[in-house]
Chains A and B, each alone.
Chain A
Amino acid sequence: MPEKTMRDAINEALHQEMAVDDTVFVIGEDVAGGNGSDGTVGCAGGVFGVTAGLYEKFGPLRCIDTPISESAIVGAAAGAALVGMRPVAEIMFSDFIGVCMDQIVNQMAKFRYMFGGKTRCPAVIRFACGAGFSAAAQHSQTMYQMMTAVPGLKVVIPSNAYDAKGLLLSAIRDDDPVLFFEPKALYQEACEVPDEPYTIPFGEAAMPREGDDVTVVAFGQMVGRAMAAIDGLEAQGISCDLVDPRTTSPLDSETILESVAATGRLVVVDESPPRCGLTADIAAMVSEKAFRSLQAPVKQVCAPHTPVPFSPDLEAEYVPSIDKIQAAIRETLQ
């Protein structure tokens, strides 16, 4: 099977779905690039190159460059979806949710409920998210933990190229609004990805490691790091389940609870700040539903309650490290 990067896997999913469904179009800042210039239209394909080639293949009506107007981008996607299209909008960085939150949270998330279930809004909004590039406080946040709290939205966080392709195809075909968070540190990471289209259902966790001693739940960029942490502990005779929920809304709580029932110990890892986040949410869920299974306090491994720093030295301290994850696993075993 061919190896592909996450960027190429997402790009392939977009090409394949646009080829079979003419209601699918992409819209965003520089998704083509070069419009109105003396240079080449289609030169950018998105700031990370994820939409490369779509303009050349599908033309200006299906690969639509916009001004820097995030509210208008999300609103346009929501409106087009209400009347039967399946837009895939790109918001360059998830931090920019800060300037289009109304359209996401008050509009697209709530149409179906406010309108008594008589409509659908099959829009996908893609975001690059997360730390790792010294992009500092306004270009490095995750934001997915905040969006997970909003009823009406589905939230997807792929942790590898294979999942990214299958989850994006599910997202585009889904009839509810989907926020699709792409950890930008993983765009260049490659794994085996089939050429043909396939889907991965929402609400079904992956279990990339299986073990007996501790359950580790990790999200997005942290899945690979947790995997490395777990592999590193194998020599010390410690084995762990690693649960990658892949979607945080809906959340596959069953897989987490089943694993905790077997191991009795839980470490939850995310690169978001700790308050009111995914790790706290899962810790609370497990303490409520599986308290008697627990043999040790739940450990949360998160970023600190600070903005994301610029300096590479500080950013390395900010994002949970393999060492910190290993320390947390060991602590639950003491």
Chain B
Amino acid sequence: MGLDKDGLLRAYRQMKTIREFEERTFTEIMNGQIAGFTHLYTGQEANAVGVCEHLSGNDTIISTHRGHGHCIARGADVKGMMAELWGAASGLCKGKGGSMHIADVDNGILGANGIVAGGPPISVGAALAAKIRGRDNVSVSFSGDGSVNQGTCFEAMNLAVVLKVPAIFVIENNYYSEHTSINYAVGCDDLKARTEGFGFPVFVADGADFFDVYRAAGEAIGHARAGNGPAGIFCEQGRFQGHFVGDPQGYRGEGELDNLRGERDCLQHFRARVGEYGDVSAEELDTIDAEVLSLIDEAVAEARTAPRPTAADLDSDVYINYAQGGA
């Protein structure tokens, strides 16, 4: 397994933080407090945390439109993120990015990304930089089952193999490209085999099981870090929410959501199984739950009263230097 007690507690805290961040975000959107288009990661927490617990230093991730979980898992400041959703000047991106563009490049987060499969080519670039510099960093791109049908994803996977760079392609199958099932949108029967056809190994994990994702991610990242080129991680886990907040989810089968929440909750699974991996008590996890809830409360309270951006902020941060007219 490779996680000591502190590691297990940290992983649980990260997953719980994502869960409560997303549940609270849903509530605040329904209350009319948050503007824009928001896509929640609720239910898929084990994917992000199982992968990101293997990362450190100059390792990078690039995320998707459903990016809150990846950013929290890689260490983004939760209060800064909440303020960003509020569009506040104190937001992680000064209120200029919002939910779909949360980023913290200095800390290895190359950004959530509003374009499906926009991230994989960029991730290959960060992996290429590591190779040119002779560093053992890896560069992780998260993609959904929708993004694997974009040409940019194919281009990135092929280029990563051609250049033999340490790119990790995490494919999170949540079974739906927006409102369309993977059974319709992926033309072949075996997406893993199709992905492996690019020429790199793909490690499969049950996305409701943190320990399984952590294991698969360890194999994939170890492969890339050792200089063997790219690797894939396939996580299967449905999302507990719609594609976006407000999605009526007419595509769901009867009882599907109840089954997801009841039978495939990674937090419940963690609690039930953590004893096999370390000496962690329910009380310790309860304490984390309470701490996370109070962190999210504080984040919301601060976001509500955070300073707002002004007209003077509108045209800054477009360029680093834009001298013109012979200036």
Decide: A67 and B158 in contact? CB cutoff 8 A. Answer: yes
Decide: B121 and A74 in contact? CB cutoff 8 A. Answer: yes
> Which chain A residues numbered 66 to 103 have a C-beta less than 8 Å away from chain B?
66-67, 69, 71-85, 87, 102-103
Decide: B123 and A79 in contact? CB cutoff 8 A. Answer: yes
> Which chain B residues numbered 117 to 167 have a C-beta less than 8 Å away from chain A?
118, 120-132, 139, 151-152, 155-156, 158-159, 162-163
Known: A76-B121, A253-B324, A255-B326. A114 touches B159 (CB 8 A): no
Decide: B317 and A72 in contact? CB cutoff 8 A. Answer: no
Among the listed stretches A105-113, A210-218, A260-268, A298-306, which one makes contact with chain B, having 4 or more residues with CB under 8 Å of it?
A: A105-113
Decide: B115 and A106 in contact? CB cutoff 8 A. Answer: yes
For residue A165, CB closer than 8 A to chain B, the reply is no
Known: A106-B115, A113-B96. A75 touches B152 (CB 8 A): yes
Complex-state Cα separation, A229 to B101, whole angstroms:
49
Decide: A175 and B321 in contact? CB cutoff 8 A. Answer: yes
Q: How far is the CB of A122 from chain B (nearest CB, A)?
A: 9
> Which of B94, B115, B124, B131 sits near A107, CB closer than 8 Å?
B115
Number of residues from A at the complex interface, CB < 8 A: 55
Q: Which residues of B contact A151 (CB under 8 A)?
A: 318
Among A62, A71, A76, A85, chain B packs the most CB atoms within 10 A around the CB of A76
Decide: B126 and A115 in contact? CB cutoff 8 A. Answer: no
Decide: A112 and B319 in contact? CB cutoff 8 A. Answer: yes
Known: A76-B121, A154-B319. A83 touches B129 (CB 8 A): yes
What is the chain A residue whose CB lies nearest that of B107? A118
Contact code string A139-160 (vs B, CB < 8 Å = 1, else 0)? 0000000000001101000000
> Which chain B residues numbered 312 to 327 have a C-beta less than 8 Å away from chain A?
316-327
For residue A61, CB closer than 8 A to chain B, the reply is yes
Q: Which residues of A contact B101 (CB under 8 A)?
A: 114-115
Q: Which residues of B contact A84 (CB under 8 A)?
A: 129
Complex-state Cα separation, A250 to B132, whole angstroms:
32
Number of residues from B at the complex interface, CB < 8 A: 55
> Which of B95, B132, B156 sits near A72, CB closer than 8 Å?
B156
Decide: B96 and A176 in contact? CB cutoff 8 A. Answer: no
Among the listed stretches A198-206, A273-281, A312-320, which one makes contact with chain B, having 4 or more residues with CB under 8 Å of it?
A: A198-206
Complex-state Cα separation, A113 to B93, whole angstroms:
8
Q: Which residues of A contact B123 (CB under 8 A)?
A: 79
Complex-state Cα separation, A25 to B130, whole angstroms:
13
Q: How far is the CB of B140 from chain A (nearest CB, A)?
A: 12
For residue B60, CB closer than 8 A to chain A, the reply is yes
Q: Which residues of B contact A83 (CB under 8 A)?
A: 58, 60, 105, 110, 125-126, 129-130
Q: Which residues of B contact A118 (CB under 8 A)?
A: 93, 103-106
Contact code string B219-261 (vs A, CB < 8 Å = 1, else 0)? 0000000000000000000000000000000000000000000
Decide: A79 and B158 in contact? CB cutoff 8 A. Answer: no
Complex-state Cα separation, A249 to B95, whole angstroms:
25
Q: Which residues of B contact A66 (CB under 8 A)?
A: 159, 162-163
For residue A282, CB closer than 8 A to chain B, the reply is no
Q: Which residues of A contact B326 (CB under 8 A)?
A: 203-205, 252, 254-255
Decide: A80 and B93 in contact? CB cutoff 8 A. Answer: no
For residue B91, CB closer than 8 A to chain A, the reply is yes
Q: How far is the CB of A57 from chain B (nearest CB, A)?
A: 15
Complex-state Cα separation, A169 to B134, whole angstroms:
26
Q: Which residues of A contact B152 (CB under 8 A)?
A: 71-72, 75, 102-103
Q: Which residues of B contact A87 (CB under 8 A)?
A: 125
For residue A120, CB closer than 8 A to chain B, the reply is yes
Q: Which residues of A contact B207 (CB under 8 A)?
A: none
Complex-state Cα separation, A80 to B127, whole angstroms:
8
Decide: B158 and A103 in contact? CB cutoff 8 A. Answer: no
Known: A25-B132, A116-B91. A111 touches B111 (CB 8 A): yes
For residue A237, CB closer than 8 A to chain B, the reply is no
Q: Which residues of B contact A115 (CB under 8 A)?
A: 93, 96-97, 101, 103-105, 111
Contact code string B72-97 (vs A, CB < 8 Å = 1, else 0)? 00000000000000000001111111
> Which chain A residues numbered 114 to 134 have a C-beta less than 8 Å away from chain B?
114-120
Q: Which residues of B contact A116 (CB under 8 A)?
A: 91-97, 317
For residue A64, CB closer than 8 A to chain B, the reply is yes
Q: Which residues of A contact B113 (CB under 8 A)?
A: 107
For residue A251, CB closer than 8 A to chain B, the reply is yes
Q: Which residues of B contact A76 (CB under 8 A)?
A: 121-122, 124-125, 128, 159
Decide: A112 and B317 in contact? CB cutoff 8 A. Answer: yes
Q: Would you give 28 A-B contacts (Cβ < 8 Å), ordered by A?
A: A25-B132, A66-B163, A71-B151, A71-B156, A72-B158, A76-B121, A79-B128, A80-B128, A80-B129, A82-B110, A103-B121, A112-B317, A114-B96, A114-B103, A115-B93, A115-B96, A115-B97, A115-B111, A116-B94, A117-B96, A119-B103, A119-B106, A175-B321, A202-B323, A202-B324, A250-B324, A253-B325, A255-B326
- Supply 18 further A-B pairs (C-beta < 8 A) apart from A64-B163, A102-B152, A115-B101: A66-B163, A71-B155, A76-B121, A78-B121, A82-B122, A102-B118, A106-B118, A111-B103, A114-B97, A115-B111, A116-B95, A116-B97, A117-B96, A117-B317, A175-B321, A176-B321, A252-B324, A254-B325
| 5 tightest Cβ-Cβ pairs between the two chains A and B | A75-B121, A79-B125, A117-B317, A254-B325, A116-B93
Query: Interface of A with B (CB < 8 Å)?
Result: 25, 27, 61-62, 64, 66-67, 69, 71-85, 87, 102-103, 106-107, 111-120, 151-152, 154, 174-176, 201-205, 250-255
Query: Interface of B with A (CB < 8 Å)?
Result: 58, 60, 62, 91-97, 101, 103-106, 110-111, 113-115, 118, 120-132, 139, 151-152, 155-156, 158-159, 162-163, 316-327
